[in-house]
């Protein structure tokens, strides 16, 4: 296992491209996305609705619904092994044990007609040689770990008997159960109340340290990223437009989109301001993307080059940014 500062990343995604065949033609939901994740690191993936966050997360586990979706290009290397080259059965075995994913909707993500105990033990027994009793005991201890009171009895509860926060914690317990190296968490707290969200995020962070896994935290909430992630990736229209260490990215964003996003989120301020800064316009239609920079239509610094040429990700002052004219860069 690699140490956090070791040069070899845990996950190396290169040029990942995912397309969907839809009624409106082919939609490229993820377009040549590349990024790395190092062991025991939390990486935030932020962006607006529909920019391809979930699809990116799903493709790491090869769970893109197919048809209509298909990974058409790129590689996903987990500890040097290209997941895309595995056969289906092999991949199945690695899901859960090496790479796991949890989802946004705690209400529907658990099977309503089985007890949570049986759902957790099923996962446990799939990946480890355990007896039913051992699995059950382990499940109870996992539930206790995610601070579910009275865990032993709760195992016999059905999902609908739990609150949203508890369900999400059950999901986390399931994710931890087989000790994966990478957990993809797709908006795990978005459906929860703020106070519950705080609880769950706290818990995730603690457990991550205990179990030493890497987390790819998918969210649209910049605040959450700022508070929990070491590094962040900002996506816009299927591509990563900026990436870097969280503090630096948020304190001195290079991409106009990142900057606009940061400015426009309402935050608790001492003074009421007359008008929030906005990013004008809307995200372009995924089936009808502009030729040049996809943000060009909404960008306040747009120049003619932006309409013709697509910028690629390059390093600017420590951040990686895909912009011809990054902010605060001296060109």
Contact positions vs ligand ATP (CB under 6 A):
20, 22, 27, 29, 47, 49-55, 65, 68-69, 220, 286
Contacted by 101, from another protein, ligand ATP, Mg ion, none: CB < 5 to 8 Å by type: another protein
Among 71, 218, 261, 316, binds another protein (CB under 8 A): 261
Q: How far is the CB of 274 from Mg ion (least distance, A)?
A: 28
Contacted by 253, from ligand ATP, Mg ion, another protein, none: CB < 5 to 8 Å by type: none
Instruction: Determine, following the binding rule CB under 8 A, whether residue 297 of this chain makes contact with another protein.
Output: yes
Q: Which is nearer to ligand ATP, 65 or 328 (CB)?
A: 65
| Residues near 136 by beta carbon (within 8 Å), at least 6 away in sequence | 117, 121, 155
**Residues contributing to the site for Mg ion (CB under 5 A):** 54
CA dist 155 → 79, 127, 132, 179, 199 (Å) = 34, 19, 13, 20, 21
What is the secondary structure of 99-111 as a DSSP string?
Answer: EEEE-S-TTTSS-
Place of tokens 């990116």: 56
Q: Cα angle vertex 193, ends 112, 50, to 5°? A: 75
Q: Which is nearer to ligand ATP, 27 or 215 (CB)?
A: 27
Q: Which is nearer to ligand ATP, 70 or 115 (CB)?
A: 70
21 in helix, strand or coil? strand
Single out the segment in contact with another protein by CB under 8 A; choices: 75-83, 122-130, 306-314, 317-325.
122-130
Instruction: Determine, following the binding rule CB under 8 A, whether residue 194 of this chain makes contact with another protein.
Output: yes
| Residues near 180 by beta carbon (within 8 Å), at least 6 away in sequence | 96, 97, 98, 99, 100, 213
Q: How far is the CB of 198 from Mg ion (least distance, A)?
A: 20
Residues 277 and 271: beta-carbon distance below 8 Å? no
């Amino acid at each position: 296992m690699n140490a956090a500062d070791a040069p070899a990343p845990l996950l190396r995604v290169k040029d990942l491209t995912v397309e969907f065949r839809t009624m409106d033609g082919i939609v490229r939901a993820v377009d040549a996305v590349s990024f790395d994740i190092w062991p025991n690191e939390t990486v935030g993936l932020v962006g607006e609705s529909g920019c391809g966050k979930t699809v990116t997360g799903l493709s790491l586990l090869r769970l893109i619904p197919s048809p209509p979706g298909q990974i058409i290009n790129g590689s996903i290397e987990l500890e040097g092994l290209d997941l895309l080259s595995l056969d289906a059965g092999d991949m199945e075995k690695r899901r859960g044990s090496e790479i796991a994913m949890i989802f946004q909707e705690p209400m529907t993500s658990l099977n309503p007609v089985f007890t949570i105990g049986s759902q957790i033990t099923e996962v446990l027994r799939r990946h480890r040689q355990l007896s039913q009793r051992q699995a059950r005991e382990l499940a109870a201890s996992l539930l206790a770990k995610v601070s579910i009171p009275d865990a032993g009895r709760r195992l016999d509860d059905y999902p609908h008997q739990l609150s949203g926060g508890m369900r999400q914690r059950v999901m986390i317990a399931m994710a931890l159960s087989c000790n994966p190296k990478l957990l993809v968490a797709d908006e795990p707290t978005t459906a929860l109340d703020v106070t519950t969200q705080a609880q769950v995020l706290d818990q995730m962070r603690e457990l991550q340290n205990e179990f030493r896994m890497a987390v790819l935290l998918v969210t649209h909430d910049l605040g959450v990223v700022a508070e929990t992630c070491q590094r962040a990736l900002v996506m816009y229209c299927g591509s990563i437009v900026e990436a870097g260490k969280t503090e630096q990215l948020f304190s001195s964003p290079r991409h106009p989109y990142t900057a606009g996003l940061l400015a426009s989120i309402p935050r608790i301020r001492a003074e009421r301001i007359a008008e929030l800064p906005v990013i004008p316009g809307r995200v372009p239609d995924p089936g009808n993307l502009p030729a040049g920079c996809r943000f060009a239509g909404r960008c306040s610094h747009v120049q003619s080059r932006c309409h013709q040429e697509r910028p690629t990700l390059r390093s600017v002052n420590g951040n990686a940014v895909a912009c011809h004219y990054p902010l605060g860069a001296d060109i």
